[in-house]
Structure 1
Amino acid sequence: MNAFGGRLEPERRPAVLAVDLMRAYFDADSPLCLPSDGCLYSAGRVIAAARAVQVPVLHTRVAYGPGGIDGGLFVRKVTALRQLFDGGGAMGELMPQVAPTAEELVLVKQYASAFFGTSLASTLRAGGIDTVVMVGVSTSGCVRASAVDAIQHGFVPLVVRDAVGDRAAEPHEANLSDLQAKYAEVVSEAAALAYLAEVSGD
C-alpha cells in the first residue's frame, strides 16, 4: 500500500495566489536572484487566464518596518530579507509581468506563509473560494509554506510546476515531490490553464 497515494480533486471556486513575485528574485544585483526567470512568464500566463474568466487573483509581497522590527527571528536567520525589504524598497516591488490590477488584493507579509499573520484565509472564505492555484517563489520557501497552510485551512492547493521557481533545481524538485506526496496537487501550466477554462463555465 502506498502511504502517499491520495489525490485532492480541485473544486469549482478557485483563486490564483501569486506568491512574492518581486524584483528581488529576478534582479541580478539581488542575493535572492533565481537562475532563471521562466517561472515569472508562466505565472503571468496563469494570471492572465484567470483574469480572462473572472477568477480572483491575489498577490503577496514582503516588507518590514524600520530595522526589520516586525521580522522577528526570520530576518535574523535570513539576513538578506532585512537588507532587501526593510521599509519596502525597490526590491520588494512586484514584477511588471504579474503586476496587480487596481481591483486585486496585495497582501503584505513578513514570514514565509501567505496565510501567517495576514487576512488571506478569511478573505478566501468570504469569497467562497475552495481551491488555491499557486504560482510564485520560492518553491522550497514561501510557496511550500503557503501550500501547507492552504490545506490546513481547508483549501485545495494546486501548485503550478512551471510557474514556481527556486534558487537551484535540487530544492525545487525535492519540494515539488514532497508537496505532491503530502500537501498539494502539483500540476503543469497546461493543466492549470485547462482547469481555469473549465471552471469558467460554472
Structure 2
Amino acid sequence: MTSDAYASQGFGTGRIGFGRRPAVLVVDFQRGFTDHASPLGGSELVEQAVRNSVRLLAAARQLGVPVVQTFVASCSEKDALHWKIPAVISDFHLGKWTTELDPRIYDHGYDVVVQKTAPSLLFQTPAISYLVKQSVDTAIVIGCNTSGCVRATVVDAFSYGFRVMVPHDCCGDVELGPHEDNLRDVGRRYADVLSLEETLELMEAAVTAG
C-alpha cells in the first residue's frame, strides 16, 4: 500500500459542497471531439461522458438550472492560438461542422452558448456575466478533455469564487490515465469530484433548498 503524501499535508480535506444556485458548464462537446469523422473524435471516454451528460443535462433543465455550452473555434488559422494540436488550428473554424455542438447534449431553446478561443470556458467569454446575472454560486463542470479544457475551466471557476463540482463520469479524455490523474488533482485542490448519481441528488437538493 502506498501512502498519499498530499493527504498527509491536508490536501483534499473535507468537501466544498453545493451552494444554493448551481449551473452546468459544458466544455467542448462539439462534433470535432465527439464525431468519429474528426481527427480528434472517436474517444470512447468522451463518448461515455456524452451519454452520461445527456441525463445530467435533462435533469438540470427540468429543475431550471442554467446551462452554458461552449465550443472552441477561431475564424481562421490566422487568429488561432498557438495550439500544439494541429487539427484545432486547421479545422476548428467558425462555420465548420467541427465546431457544431453535439445535438445529443444541446438544447437550442434552453442553453446559452459561448464561443471560446482558449482552453477555459470562462476566459474572455460572456459566461461570467451570465452566471452573475443568474446569481450562480456553484459550477458543475462537464465535458472534454479532462486534462485540458475541463481542467482549465475548473481552475478558472475556482478562481472566480464558485463552488466547483466535477461529475467524473460526465468528463472524458483521449486516455484514461490523464483523465484520472487530473480528476484526482483537481479533487485535491479546487473541486468536489462526484459521481453522476451523487451530482443529480445534490443538484436537486440545492435547487429545492434554494
User: CA offset at residue 72 of structure 1?
Assistant: 2.5
Within the candidate set 23, 29, 49, 1:21 is matched to 29
- The residue type equivalent to 1:94 in the other structure is L
1: distance between equivalents of 2:49 and 2:113? Answer: 19
1: distance between equivalents of 2:36 and 2:42? Answer: 8
Aligned counterparts, 1:22-101, within 5 A: 22-36=30-44, 37-69=47-79, 71-74=80-83, 77-101=84-108
Give the match's secondary structure for 2:53. Answer: helix
Asked whether the equivalents of residues 100 and 106 of structure 1 are also in contact (C-alpha less than 8 Å), the reply is: no
Q: Once superposed, what is the RMSD of the aligned Cα atoms?
A: 1.4
- The residue type equivalent to 2:70 in the other structure is T
2: distance between equivalents of 1:124 and 1:57? Answer: 10
TM-score by length of 1: 0.93
1: distance between equivalents of 2:204 and 2:18? Answer: 13
Structure 1 stretches lacking a partner, 5+ long: none
Give CA deviations for 1:51-76 in whole Å, capped at 9, x if unaligned: 1111111100112112241x2323xx
1: distance between equivalents of 2:12 and 2:28? Answer: 30
Within the candidate set 126, 129, 135, 1:122 is matched to 129
Q: Aligned pair in 2 of structure 1 residues 199, 89: CA closer, same or farther (>3 Å)? A: same
Within the candidate set 147, 151, 157, 1:150 is matched to 157
User: CA offset at residue 163 of structure 1?
Assistant: 0.4
Comparing 18-27 with 145-154, which one deviates more in the overlay? 18-27
Give CA deviations for 1:42-100 in whole Å, capped at 9, x if unaligned: 1111100001111111100112112241x2323xx222102221234101111111013
TM-score by length of 2: 0.90
Structure 2 stretches lacking a partner, 5+ long: 1-7
Asked whether the equivalents of residues 132 and 155 of structure 1 are also in contact (C-alpha less than 8 Å), the reply is: yes
User: CA offset at residue 125 of structure 1?
Assistant: 1.3
